Amino acid sequence: MRFYRHLATVVLAIATVIAIAFIHTFAFALPEHEVDAIASQTTVLIAPALQEGEIKARREWDPGSGVVVARKGKTYYALTALHVVQNKGFYGVRTSDGKVHLVEHNEDNSTIQALGREEGELRTKVKGFDLALVKFESEHDYPVAALGNSEKLRSKDVLYVSGWPVPQNQTPRRERVTEVTSLNQINSQPHPEGGYSLAYNIQTRQGMDGGPVFSQDGQIVAIHQSDRSNEHGYCLEPNLSGNNSCGLQINHIVQAIEAEDRRLSFDRGLIDPKVIAQGIANKSTADVIPNVYKLFTFDLDAMLRNKPSLGCGSLLLGDKCPNRRI
């Protein structure tokens, strides 16, 4: 009798461990519309600022996506793809409330900070990470995306890619989307040219590069890049790049940021239900831009005249700044 009691106790203990593991694995999986709501509140559109009358520039205008990942007081930090902000000048960061926050990419490299560098005659290769941190200021209280643990990713995991695709007809109306995909391959080490280490079976459209990749629990596990199956190379390997897009693991990204002594505080906690509720309630306005060209058009000349000093490295002064940390 004692033997059977002991056996029952062992079986119960094993069952309890299995149940806890099951709960830990699946309890926080969110329905697709809730992950989409989180993406709606934290995904941003990043693009060069336009000036009045720049009709030709609008045809060549190349926007991208990004995601707000950190905050220090009134200063916010968004991750995006390096090529989205590769040129010097003014950029706009469009947040979920429809506002565009103007930032200047200048020689002091403090507002837009690259985590890698583009190389080659056409700047098609990246040494390090194909990423940049964009810093903008605001009095508004914006949600910051929670970061997950990309080391827990497994093949066939469901992923959600959020971004602002460019329509084929270049229409002024833009709409943010969340596309569902599954993970095909994960590498433990980032690729030396770009930092890519994930492959998932989706071919996203222009404009979505730099956007967040969410796990089923609504946390960011990667930053998205389009496929690199072209004459300039591949993001992972030829067979994978042909039918997949590539991502950069969030763990690798955080390590790269910390290695450069950039002191940012990231949210690693569970998702705030208020963010989901806000995303669902405001989706129709947060995810739609009636006229993106009008929204990103600024009278930059007047802004320069009205501000006698934009700081060292500005377009007005042209002076370089000493290297500075965040």
For the segment 178-199, what is each residue's pLDDT rounded down to a tens digit? 999 999 888 888 877 778 889 8
Confidence tier at 224 by pLDDT (50, 70, 90): very high
Q: What are the pLDDT digits (tens) for 6-22? A: 444 444 444 433 333 34
Confidence tier at 304 by pLDDT (50, 70, 90): low
Cα–Cα distance list, 95 to 41, 43, 207 (Å): 8, 7, 15
Q: Report the range of poorest mean pLDDT among 54-58, 92-96, 177-181.
A: 54-58
The Cα–Cα gap between 134 and 41 comes to 17
| Of 175, 237, 248, 258, the residue nearest 209 (C-alpha) | 248
Residue type, 118: E
The pLDDT value recorded for residue 121 is 54
* Torsion angles phi and psi, residue 192, rounded to 5: -60, -25
pLDDT above 90: residue 106: no
Distance between start and end Cα atoms, the chain? 68
The pLDDT value recorded for residue 13 is 40
The Cα–Cα gap between 120 and 132 comes to 18
Q: Tell me, what CATH number does 227's domain have? A: 2.40.10.120
Domain interval for residue 128: 32-298
Cα 140–Cα 278–Cα 248 angle in degrees, nearest 5? 80
Tokens read off for 9: 């106790």
Domain membership of residue 53 (yes or no) is yes
Q: What are the pLDDT digits (tens) for 133-145? A: 999 999 999 999 9
Cα–Cα distance list, 54 to 60, 79, 294 (Å): 10, 27, 11
pLDDT above 60: residue 147: yes
Region of 156 (left: φ > 0; alpha: ψ -120 to 50; beta: rest) is left
More confident: 275 or 323: 275
Domain membership of residue 19 (yes or no) is no
Beta-bridge partner residues of 174: 289
The pLDDT value recorded for residue 236 is 61
Domain membership of residue 40 (yes or no) is yes
Domain membership of residue 319 (yes or no) is no
For the segment 214-241, the average pLDDT, to the nearest whole number, is 72
Confidence tier at 108 by pLDDT (50, 70, 90): confident
Confidence tier at 125 by pLDDT (50, 70, 90): low
Confidence tier at 117 by pLDDT (50, 70, 90): confident
Question: How many alpha carbons fall within 13 Å on the CB side of residue 96?
Answer: 28
Domain membership of residue 251 (yes or no) is yes
Domain membership of residue 97 (yes or no) is yes
Q: How many domains does the chain have?
A: 1
Domain membership of residue 6 (yes or no) is no
pLDDT above 50: residue 52: yes
Domain membership of residue 52 (yes or no) is yes
For the segment 276-298, the average pLDDT, to the nearest whole number, is 95
The pLDDT value recorded for residue 314 is 38
* Torsion angles phi and psi, residue 177, rounded to 5: -130, 155
The pLDDT value recorded for residue 142 is 96
Q: Are 112 and 64 in contact (CB under 8 A)?
A: no
Tokens read off for 96: 């979920």
Say what percent of the chain tops pLDDT 90. Answer: 48
For the segment 132-161, the average pLDDT, to the nearest whole number, is 94
Q: Are 220 and 161 in contact (CB under 8 A)?
A: no
Q: Are 129 and 194 in contact (CB under 8 A)?
A: yes
